[in-house]
Amino acid sequence: MPAEGKVSLAWQIVMVILIPIAGIWAFYRIKRLQKAFLYLILPQIAITVLVFVAVFAAIPYNESMDALQPFEESDKELEPMGFAVTIASSIIGLGITALSIYLIIKWS
């Protein structure tokens, strides 16, 4: 049930930062769940899919055995991509969290 009166801005922000699922509840209480879904959740799902595709594309495939090869210590060429994906994912996650906080403040 959406809130009828004022909502606590501090609690809304705490919900968005500490408990991501509770962030959905925070947007529901301020009657902006559909917009939050469009602006935050859908892009986050798309980015997650892209990260998984990038990570699985980097795993070497052995065609002779039709199986994935385990990573070895000698696979040093994969390390830069792993660092790049990790850094990009962290920056995008922080950006989405910052956008969530901004939208909570603006829409409340």
On the question of pLDDT at 42 being above 60, the answer is yes
Averaged pLDDT score across all residues of the chain: 78
pLDDT at position 73 is: 54
Find the helix packing angle between 79-107 and 42-57, rounded to 10°: 180
Mean pLDDT of the 40-60 span: 82
State the DSSP H helix or E strand holding residue 62, giving kind and residue range, or none if neither.
strand 61-62
Both tokens assigned to 83: 């660092």
Mean pLDDT of the 78-96 span: 80
67 has which bridge partners? 62
Mean pLDDT of the 73-99 span: 76
Per DSSP, the three-state class of 108 is coil
- Whether 29 and 12 have beta carbons less than 8 Å apart is answered as yes
- Whether 47 and 92 have beta carbons less than 8 Å apart is answered as yes
Prediction pTM value: 0.70
C-alpha to C-alpha distance for 78 and 22, rounded to whole angstroms: 36
Picking from 98, 92, 57, 47, the residue whose alpha carbon sits closest to that of residue 78 is: 57
